Each structure stands twice: as structure tokens, then as C-alpha cells.
Structure 1
Amino acid sequence: MLALQSGSNVFDVVLCNMPWAISSRPSLSLGILKGICNQERIRSKVIYGNLAMSAKIGMKISTEFATSGPIMGLCEHLFACALYGKEALDSDRIIREYSERPDVLAIVPRDYWFYARDEVIPEFLVSAADRILDHSPSIVGFSSTFNQVMSSLALARIVKDRNSRIITIFGGACFHDPMGQEYHRSCSEFVDHVFLGESDDAFRAFIQQWKSGKTPKDIPGITYKNGKEISYLPSEPVTDLNRLPVPDYDDYYLETEYLKGESSFDIVVDSLPYESSRGCWWGNKSQCIFCGLTEEELTFRSRDPEIIVEDIVTLSQKYQELNFHAADMIISWPTLTPVLQQLAALDLDLELFYEVKASVKKEQIELLRNAGVAEIQPGIESLSTDALRLMGKGTTLLINLQCLKWAKEYSIQPHYNLLVGFPNEKAKWYDDVIDLIPMFFHLQPPTYPITPVSLQRFSPLFEYRKNFGPGTVLPRPDYVNCFPPGTIDLNESSYYFYEKQAGGWPFFPERDEENQLQYPNYIQRFKDAVSEWIQLHQSTASPPSLRLRFGDGSAKIYDWRTSLRREYTISGEYLDLILLCDRIQVRSALEQKLGERHLSSRVTEAINDLLESGVLIQEGKKILSLAVADRPRSTKHLEGKVIGSETDSVI
């Protein structure tokens, strides 16, 4: 790493990345805002409070606090106590209640929560405020995702109490639209402005107005105090992403170098974030019912391919990093194809992460791998076609399995969740998947056995359920634990909700006498089956496999998905079926086409044999091979081995 110079200690703008953001990568949003400050010739500094906290409590605990769902609300509560006082929140009771749960005790002992609340958090906040004030800023900004709200508010109050002339600004996903308005209203003593949507253009206009001595009341998407009221103009999405600067991560690396020298705390950077696009082109057409993106966030926009590649190369050269994490919600192939082609042509060993739609084509998977994409998030969400239809995903079981199979062939690691707990879902859907799971033991399992669907503001589910009347949909309980009664309208400020009804949805499972989560029987059965799948990949040196090796006019299939290991040698119509069913095919069309080359009865018999062995899987009228080739080959190459096969894929 080349030395980075910090320069003057006085900055006009200080931007804060607070706990509990993960520490293993810098903040993309603050990197962009610092880049905008650079373009506007404004002296700025990003303070990575999350790094300082990691150095204070250790990387292991800070990572757990940042990423573990069962404790996120409790982690926010620790900072809420610094803001409102532990007595006002009845904190002792809350900590005792939550910290005794087995899933919480597995992370840290119960007494650690009291220690963190009474010693770690107060000391951290005083130190952070000292650092900010040492820079003599005029503006202090806080970027808040879902577990940074209370730490940001607590620090803002201390800063404002010590220097009331400082302008405090807030933005991020937790401050969008009504949430930001309510936070400003309830915390107006120490919150001066809230950015209600995408802040890039609004922030540029804000600092330009500040330089000119003007107020931001004419800038869309920024709240301001108007007497006792909070006023604003509606926010507007960024329309030209090409205008955005390369993210400036200098302060992240300065902070890591400082902590390494000060406390021997060494952080391994897992990747640098960047963006190729914003929004979701699929969501523009059909928003998934659980998706909590605003209309502004859904609007799809992309950057020019040349700029994307230039940014990646610039960041790699400047910070000497090779791993990159695209913040894109979904790949737009018309934009990204030339990007991937250019990256593949570079003589660089980059590794990238992207979110993709599961209906990706095989040649696109190959292009991803050639460009250095080593990890993807394909948005699988379920292995039930009925559930996927309910969600509005536009995919099926076979499409998802095809994606997982091709990813495995090209050595790309997929990350995905299996959502449960949708309204009107049927137990039979899950029981049917349970019966199928052993067939794809060899494919990458989900990150967790199950992920209960959450009721998010702005999602179609939220808009649908709240029509059932007042009191049905309530803010999630961990919000209640962060604010004394009467200080804030949680119906306006909360992002996550739940339905308070007997047997209600989404799952807010009860706990038994041993404090273990209790799910409905069909969900518990499904959870147990997926847990076994995950365990098979975690506990054995040789996880389950279904290998396919091609010879000259024949192929071998090695079925090691279970302890009953089997081996097949196939040729003729069996081989043709495996070749063509590398991608999803319509069974009747396949039988008709291969019936012109082989006896129709033998083709049907071969399909049935391969279905019985679990090498082929059928859903409805469509079939797919589950075998994973040792060496990936294109669809065109495989189909070319079957003379005259011009079968149509369903994709």
C-alpha cells in the first residue's frame, strides 16, 4: 500500500460511518460523498467509527454485532441507552430477557451486554465526539443503514451539545421518506437536516448552498425546520450516474493504518465496493412482494461500461486491492456484457461479486467467470415454484437449480436464502421440496436453513397487509426497545413490521420453555431438511457430488449424493438426453425430436430411467439434468454433439 497523506487536521465536512457497519470494507456511499467534496473543493474527512469499535471490542464480536440477525435490535439498544438513559428504556429487563436466549448466548455471555452498555459504548462515544470536534467541522454527516441509527443519533446529540453551531445531517436507507421526516421531527434538537432519498445530487447542491451562505430549503429531498414544522420538497433520484466520482476510500486506509500502529489491530479488507448501476429493472416490471425498495430506488439506471471498468482499475491501482463487491441490485446484461468482456481482456487476477437473476444463461455464467466474477447472489429465495410465483420472482424450481448447477460447473460461489412465512403459502409446497432435496445435495445449499420473510416498509406485502386496518401491522419490537414512550411515532419511523395476530404472519415465532424459537410444523420439517443439506457441505472433506465426465461417444456419471454411491456409463439416447438437458427442455418436444433419431419408446424409457435415478428432474412439462460436468462446456457445444438437435430452450 502506498502511503496516503492525511494533510491538514481541519475539515469543513466530517462524515461518519458508525457501528454496526461491517469493518472489512469501506463505505461506498461515504466514499462517493467524499469524492463529491473533492470535486467541489471542500475539505472533508470520513471517520470510520465502526473500525474504532472493532479495535475496541475485537473483530470477532464486532462482526457478530454487525451481521447476526438475532442481536441486531439489542445492539441498537446499547446506543439507545446512551441517548435516552437506561432507566427510561427499562434496559436491565430488556438485556436480561434477550441475552438469555440460546441464539444470543452463543455469541457473547449475558454479562457482556451490561459491560458494553455501561462502559464500552459511553467511552466510544466520547472518544468519537472528541475526534470529530478536533477537526473543527462546520457540517457533520451520518450515513445510516438498518443497524446504525441509534449510534448515529447518540453521537450527533453529543456533538451538538458540545458545539451547537455544527450542522448535523443524516441520510441512508433508514431515513428515506416518512422515516426520515419522523426522525427529524422527534430529534430536531440535534438533527438539522435529513436526506430523504438518494443523496448524491442533493448533497452536492447542499454543500454548494452552504458555501454561498444559503439554506437548503429549495433542494429536493432535504428536510429543514420551518418554525415548529419539518418541511421538504420531494426527493428526486440521481439520473446521471456517470457524473458520480470514483469513491474516495483514503480515510478508510488511513484509519486501518493508524489502528494497526496504535493497537496492533490489523483488518483484512475483503473487498472494495463499487457500483455499475442502481435500481432493479425486474422490479420496474414486477416488484417482488417482499422487496422494500422505494419507487425511487427501483428506478433502473446504469453507468457507461467504459466508466465502470475505469473505476475498477483506478481503485485497484490506488489501493492495491484485487477483490471487488458490486453494490448493484441486479445485473443489466446490455450494460454489463461489454464491462465483463473488457475485464476479461485485462491481464489482471480480479475477483468480483455481483447480484444476478437466477434465469441467467450459461454463456452469461461463462462470461462472468472469465471476467473474474467468483461470487454471485442469484436471488433464488425458494425452491418451490408455487412460492416463487406467489413472490413474483419470475422464476421456477428448475430455473433455480439450473443456475446453481452452472455456477458449480464454472466454480462460481452462489449465495442465497430460502424465504418462508408468506401469506397464503401451503404446507404442501414445503413438503414437496423436502422430498426433492436429496436430489440436489450436490449443489450449493443456502446460507441459512430458512429465512423468515420480513415485512418491510414500501414492499407490496406491507402495502397489502396494512389495508387490514389499524393495529394489525405493528413496528417490530426491537424498535420499541430503543425509544421511550411518546418520543417518536414508530409507525412512521420503522422499516420492519410484523402482524400481531394469533398465528399471524410474517413469522414472529414464539419461544418455548428453553427459549428456543418455535416454528409451525411444516416450516420446522423444512428447516430440518435444509439443515441436513448444509451440514453435508460443512462437515465432510468430500461433499456430495453428481459428476459428469464425457468420453468419445459415451459418458460416465458418478452419483455420490448419498452414502449409496453409484456409477453409470451412458451412451446413445441416454447420452443425447444428458447433452440436451444441460438446459431446461420441454419433455414432449424433446421426445419428438430424439424420436427421429432413436426409437420413441427407447427415448421415453431413457427419460424415465434417468428420472428414477434422480439424474434428471421433471417439473410439469419440463425436465433438466442435474449432473455437473467436470469441465464446463457451452450449451451450443453440447447440443452440437447431438446431430440435428435444434431443440428450443424454455429460457
Structure 2
Amino acid sequence: MGRTTHARFPWVNYIVSGEADALMGALCWDILHRGKDIPSADLPFGVFGPAHREAGYPSTSRRDLVPRAAIKNMRDLPLPDFSDYFTELERSLYADRIHPGLPLEFSRGCWWGERSPCTFCGLNGGSITYRQKPAEQAVEEMIEMSARYGLSRIEAVDNILAIDYFEKALPSLTALPKKFAIFFEVKANLKRHEVEKLAGAGVRWIQPGIESLDTRVLKLMGKGTTAAHNVQLLKWCRQYGVRVSWSVLWGFPGESDAWYSEIAACLPLLHHLQPGRTVRLRYQRYSPYHYASGKYGLKLLPAASYRYVYPLSEGDLKDQVYYFEDNEDNDVGGHYIAGDVNRRPGLQAVARGVDAWLRSWYEPKRPILSMRDSGEELTVEDTRAIAVECKHRVKGLKREILLAADEGVPETLLRKRLAATNVRQAEIDAGIAEMTARKLIIRLDGRLVGLPLWHPYQPMPGMTAFPGGYFDRRAMPVGIPRA
């Protein structure tokens, strides 16, 4: 994209492709002293200048053939200086409405994408190689930046949380006398104790890449997780008061509308958990869908909106843009046709189901599904719209089944365990059937997933608690007309 911008728009003198941290200072100094006449051989790797228009552009063996600058050692990167921002904020008419957070970076690339890139993700371009700051440095930088600017909100802009931070960074954050409010992107297959550890360390908001409640769709994405994992994660986040940014993505090559009918059927069971939203898949440059489009039966063209911006040929436009559309997709533009219920009834049902879930979540009294254990009996409170009873008393074998399902036990394993204690298969069948009929358990991916939370559970942070900050729209400054 940078090379095309530079080649087709002569008034752009210099382009930096990739990560400019290590070279920007010296490059600007050189430009100030030498202007537009820097020989291409004197320019840093990943920088295009006027000389390249005559001598030609360098190429590499990378997939996009363009050299990109990259930082190998995150440890040596300087801390960002936000002082200009806070100076301007103090002068702003909206200063008392703006509650900022600190965007900080602790890693680049994606350790999961290195192993198995998600088919739709092009976030890292050619620099997907994972690099991170040491855990102790990340904690030190949070403390230093918080003290410097007097803020406890921290938004990690990383693509994914480093694996070793669970053992090396979170305990240090937990031990702080005053907790930060932290946002991180994470992988969705977290276990209960990991979510508890995140919450204890002040990570109260995550984006885990849940992205579907159907394992077949998740396999199309290459997510390396399952619907059962995703429901369990929503449950543990609700348990420990960790807010989740997530979506049901749709529009994947090879998906079946019948799968969405199955998703829609399970949504009412989850109304006590935090809802997501339905979002149309977009094809990104650098993603497997882009560079191997033929493999997926795609005929990608630049997204239509770009043609209103760039006066370029179709060939140059393909090199210029980041988003693409499938030429043979009837859903181009991002929305299914509202009146065409017969063509995608499953997807329509999911959209309606998610809307109903959102409405129930924002009611004055959110739906409850929680349980207590006396040691002999589980007492379950259920105020969901689909509740069979408002209070369940679960004893004996059925209690054992519900307790095992709390961890998402594989059904075959549970049956084997119970059979080893001389419980008859007919009794196991009846117990599972009753817990399912009471809508306290759901079958997903060969597992029995228990839905109730444990009482008590932590309150969920509100929207204004986002660690990246927020703008308070409740009131406007005196004398400022409302739009």
C-alpha cells in the first residue's frame, strides 16, 4: 500500500513501510538537511523516497514483495510521550467530560498467528512474528506511566496477551496496593483460574476473539477454539466481573445457514451472560483469504468505497487498498437483505436473537442464573425468560452431573466416571436429560456445559469503565449549543 501511494502520488516524498520506531528520528534529520535528494542507497530499509521513482523500488522475498522495517527487540523501545495531549486536554471546553486512558504497547505480532493464522485476519501484514517486552518491564512501564500522568486506566494495544504474563506479570499487578484498570486482547480458550487471575490483576475488560458460537464456523476461521470454550469463557468472565468485547461474525466461505439456526436456538439460554453483536466478515489485505483467495473460492475486488477516494486504475487500486469484497457475494456491502428471509433464515434468526439478548441485558434487572451448594443440594435461581422454574433444587446424581458440567466435562468422560461408581446408564441418561430439560446444561462439542454462575459473582464493569477512556455525553458545557 505504501509503495503504491508513493508511486502514484508524486507529491508524497517519503513513505515508511513497516515499523518506524528505530529509524524515524534519523530519517527526519536527514530529510531536513538533504530534502528530496537523498539517494535510495542512503535510505533505511523500508523507506521509499523520490529517488526510487527513477531507480525503481526494491523488492524482497516476502509475500507482498515490499521491504518493511521491523523492530526485533521490544525491550529497547522508548516510552511514549503524551504530554502534548494532556496539555491540550487541560485547555479543552470538554476537559471535564473526557476521561482518558493510557494506550501502551507490550508486544507486536501474534503468537497464535505465527502457528496458525486466522483466515480472515490481516492485522500484522508481513510482521506477524511475535515479539514482546519482558513481563517485569511491562509492569514497570505501567507503574511509571500511571505515575507520570496520574491515570490508572491502561489499554494494551497488543494483538494478544503474552503467555508468560500470566505467571510473570499478573501476580505483580495483583500485589500492587492500588489496582489498575487494564484492557488486553487474549485468546479465547482461557481456563477459569486464568480469568480469575486476570480479574485479580485489574484486567477488567478483554477482547478474546470469541467470534462465533459454532465450532464449525470457528474451524473455518482457524481460531483454534470451540463453541464450548467460548461459552465457558463468557461464563467465567461474568463470574469474575470481566467485561468482554466480542461478536458473532458471519459471511465465511463454506459456512452453512443451518449452522446459524443452531446458534440461534441456544442464544436464549445465555441471556444471563454478556451479549455480543452480529458483524459481517470483511476481507483484509495480508489475510489468508486475501493471499490465497482462489483456495477459498473467492474473487476479491477492492471495496467499492475506495473508488470514490482514489483516482487509480483497477490494478493499482488492488495494490492500494486494505479491504476487499467478493465479486460473487450477494451480501456485499455488509448486510443481508432484510426481506429475503428464505435465503438466510438462520442468520436472520441469529440477528433477532442477539437483539433480544441485548435488550434483556440492558433491562433494569438483568437475567440471573446462579447456584449455591450446601454440600448435599444445589439451589439454582433462574430469572431468564426461558426459565422452566424460578428456583431449582438439585440433589444426588443430578447434582453430580451439574457440578461436572460446570467445567464443561466431555460427556463420554462423565459417563465413564459415573459408571465406575456403579451408576446405571439409564440413570445417567435420565439425569442428563433432566438437567438439559431444565435448561441448566447445554450440549456443545461432545461436552456438557453447565450454564449457572456461582453465587455470589462479581459486578460487571459499565461501559464507562473502558480502560481506554470514554467521553461523557450526559451533559454539555454551558453555552455550547446541542447538535
| Alignment partner, residue 374 of structure 2 | 551
Which residue number corresponds to residue 113 of structure 2? 283
Equivalences for 1:330-479 in 2 at 5 Å?
330-446=160-276, 448=277, 450-465=278-293, 472-479=299-306
Aligned residue identity for 1:479 = Y
Q: After the TM superposition, which residues 254-265 of structure 1 pair with which residues of structure 2 at under 5 Å, given as runs?
A: 254-260=87-93
Q: CA deviation at 1:566?
A: 2.3
Q: CA RMSD in A?
A: 2.8
User: Within 5 A, what are the aligned runs for 1:250-649?
Assistant: 250-260=83-93, 266-294=96-124, 296-446=126-276, 448=277, 450-465=278-293, 472-484=299-311, 489-501=316-328, 503-504=329-330, 508-509=334-335, 520-538=344-362, 540-562=363-385, 564=387, 565-597=389-421, 599-600=423-424, 601-631=426-456
Asked if 1:248 corresponds to 2:81, the answer is yes
Give the whole-Å Cα distance in 2 for the aligned partners of 1:294 and 1:373: 24
Give the aligned partner of residue 22 of structure 2: 201
CA distance in 1, matches of 2:419, 2:288: 47
TM-score (norm 1): 0.64
For the structure 1 residues 622 and 506, does the alpha-carbon distance in structure 2 shift closer, same or farther, using more than 3 Å as the test? farther
Aligned partner of residue 604 in structure 1, secondary structure: helix
Can you list the C-alpha shifts for 1:404-452, whole angstroms capped at 9, x where unaligned?
A: 0000000111110111111111011001111111111211110x2x111
Q: Which has the higher helix share?
A: 1
Identity %: 28
Name the structure 2 match of 1:231.
57
Equivalent pair of 2:156/2:184 in contact (CA under 8 Å): yes
Once the two structures are TM-superposed, the CA of residue 573 in structure 1 deviates from its matched residue by 2.1
Residue 127 of structure 2 aligns to a residue whose secondary structure is helix
- The residue that corresponds to 2:475 in the other structure is none
SS of the aligned residue for 1:442 comes to coil
Residue type at the aligned position of 1:532: A
The secondary structure found in structure 2 opposite 1:618 is strand
Q: Which amino acid aligns with 1:621?
A: G
Q: Deviations over 1:190-229 (max 9, x none)?
A: x221111122123244246558866674411111122634
Contact 1:466 1:473 in 2 (8 A): no
Change (3 A) 1:247 1:523: same
Q: Secondary structure, in 3 states, of the residue corresponding to 2:190?
A: coil
Q: Secondary structure at the match of 1:624?
A: strand
Change (3 A) 1:365 1:608: same
**Residue 355 of structure 1: how far off its partner (Å):** 0.9
2:377 and 2:394 in contact (8 A); partners too: yes
Q: Distance in 2 between matches of 1:555 and 1:488?
A: 65
- Give a deviation string over 1:101-153, Cα, whole Å, max 9, x none: xxxxxxxxxxxxxxxxxxxxxxxxxxxxxxxxxxxxxxxxxxxxxxxxxxxxx
Aligned to 1:184: 6
Rounded to whole Å, the distance in 2 between the matches of 1:547 and 1:432 is 25
Counterpart-to-counterpart distance in 2, 1:336 and 1:594: 34
Tell me: CA distance 1:361–1:202, structure 2 relative to 1, closer, same or farther (3 Å): same
How far apart in 2 are the matches of 1:295 and 1:578? 45
User: Do 1:186 and 1:487's aligned partners in 2 also have CA atoms closer than 8 Å?
Assistant: no
Aligned CA distance change for structure 1 residues 483 and 506 (closer, same or farther; 3 Å): closer
Distance 1:452 1:468 in 2: 17
Of stretches 216-225 and 527-536 in structure 1, the one that deviates more from structure 2 is 216-225
Q: What amino acid does structure 2 have at the position aligned with 1:313?
A: I
Scaled by the length of structure 2, the TM-score of the pair is 0.85
Higher relative contact order (CA 8 A, sep 6+): 2
Q: 1:435 to 1:491 in 2, by over 3 A?
A: same
Contact 2:186/2:209 (<8 A) preserved: yes
2: CA distance between counterparts of 1:418 and 1:232?
Answer: 41
> Within 2, Cα distance between the matches of 1:369 and 1:432?
32
The separation in 2 between residues aligned to 1:276 and 1:413, in whole angstroms, is 21
Q: Distance in 1 between matches of 2:118 and 2:2?
A: 24
Following superposition, the deviation at residue 277 of structure 1 comes to 1.3
| Paired letter, 1:461 | Y
Partner Cα separation in structure 1 for residue 419 and residue 256 of structure 2: 39
Residues 257 and 401 of structure 1, relative CA distance in 2, 3 Å threshold: same
Deviations 1:332-359 (A, max 9, x none): 2213431111010111131101111110
Q: 1:563 to 1:581 in 2, by over 3 A?
A: closer
Contact 2:215 2:445 in 1 (8 A): no
SS at match of 1:423: coil
Q: Distance in 1 between matches of 2:321 and 2:409?
A: 46
